[in-house]
């Protein structure tokens, strides 16, 4: 039985109505920053209640760490085999530096437990990116692995202050087994993608991102570890060749593994990300929120 409030409306229906009401208010006061923040908060609750209804573990659910004042905001996109849990510590770090962070859970499977296409991930991320760009004039996107690939696909089509790519999935690191699979992909692509499942979708996304990426006019921060066993550092070289903004920064870290926000270089990664956001947010005259009192508890679990 669905949970309802005192008026008999389901929580899902109530949140949808709230989103509609805020959108109507924004039409009347389009420059009201409080309304834009309330809209993002309502959209977060919509995601959160969906995660909760499907019994997604608490740490894996969508999270939002939102400052009440005008502040830069970063959309965090997790990796293909991950969840928001892998981005949560980075989100906490950004919030402590006066930067809001939003990380939606992107679904890998449909309601029938079949792998979704990589285009579905792009669509899910695009909806979240539009919400973030509405919330603050200093919006950024930060993606890990496939999340970085999706960020690269979308970034040039949104009013962003910059793009952060952590171990972006552009070139797989090819061992003997992978090279044999790649040969199968060339000879019989239909059979390859049938057995590869979600992995095949990741490779498709890599191919598309490499083909459609030309000149990168946005400031770009790209970090990867030399001991990443999944992805080749060729991705960094690819991005560096296409970077057109002098504020871009490309670093190949000596160690840190694939999930570089959790590896040996975690502190360096966190500082690089927050510093990049702070520098480029000033370009659009938005500074990180620095309250006199300790920061309020992030809005991550309204239950």
> For the segment 234-281, what is each residue's pLDDT rounded down to a tens digit?
999 999 999 999 999 999 998 888 889 887 889 999 999 999 999 999
Position 303 in a domain: no
Position 104 in a domain: yes
Which segments of the chain have a pLDDT < 50? 1, 198, 292-297, 303
Alpha carbon distances (Å) from 294 to 4, 90, 97, 154, 300: 36, 18, 11, 35, 17
Q: Where are the beta strands (DSSP E) in the chain?
A: 63-65, 73-77, 100-103, 139-144, 162-166, 220-225, 249-253
In this prediction, what percent of the chain has a pLDDT beyond 90? 50
pLDDT at 185: 62
Position 78 in a domain: yes
**What digits encode the pLDDT tens for the residues 121-148?**
899 999 999 999 989 999 999 999 999 9
pLDDT at 292: 42
Position 5 in a domain: no
Position 165 in a domain: yes
Domain residue limits at 162 = 62-284
Position 69 in a domain: yes
Q: Residue 60: is it exposed, middle or buried by C-beta count within 10 angstroms (0-12/13-18/19+)?
A: middle
pTM for the full model? 0.86
CATH of the domain at 174: 3.40.50.1820
Total count of domains within the chain: 1
Identify the sign of the CA torsion 63, 82, 144, 126: negative
Position 256 in a domain: yes
Position 24 in a domain: no
Nearest CA-CA partner of 289 in 129, 75, 135, 66 = 66
């Amino acid at each position: 039985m669905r949970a309802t409030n005192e008026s008999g409306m389901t929580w899902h229906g109530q949140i949808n109505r709230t989103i509609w009401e805020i959108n109507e208010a924004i039409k009347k006061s389009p420059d009201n920053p409080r309304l834009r923040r309330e809209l993002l908060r309502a959209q977060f609750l919509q995601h959160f209640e969906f995660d909760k209804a499907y019994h997604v573990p608490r740490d894996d659910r969508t999270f939002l760490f939102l400052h009440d004042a005008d502040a830069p905001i970063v959309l965090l996109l997790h990796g293909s085999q991950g969840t928001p849990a892998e981005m949560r510590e980075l989100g906490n770090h950004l919030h402590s530096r006066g930067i809001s962070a939003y990380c939606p859970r992107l679904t890998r499977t449909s309601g029938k437990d079949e792998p979704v296409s990589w285009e579905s991930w792009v669509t899910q991320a695009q909806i979240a990116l539009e919400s973030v760009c509405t919330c603050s004039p200093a919006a950024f996107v930060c993606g890990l692995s496939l999340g970085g690939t999706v960020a690269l696909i979308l970034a040039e089509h949104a009013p962003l202050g910059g793009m952060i790519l952590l171990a972006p999935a552009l070139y797989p690191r090819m061992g003997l087994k992978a090279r044999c699979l790649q040969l199968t992909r060339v000879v019989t692509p239909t059979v390859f993608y049938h057995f590869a499942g979600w992995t095949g979708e990741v490779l498709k996304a890599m191919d598309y991102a490499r083909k459609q990426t030309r000149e990168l006019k946005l400031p770009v921060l790209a970090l990867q570890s030399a001991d990443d066993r999944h992805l080749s550092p060729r991705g960094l070289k690819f991005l560096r060749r296409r970077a057109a903004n002098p504020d871009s920064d490309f670093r190949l870290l000596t160690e840190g593994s694939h999930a570089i926000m959790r590896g040996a270089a975690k502190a360096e990664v966190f500082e690089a990300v927050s510093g990049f956001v702070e520098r480029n947010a000033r370009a659009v005259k938005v500074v990180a929120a620095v309250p006199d009192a300790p920061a309020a508890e992030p809005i991550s679990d309204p239950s």
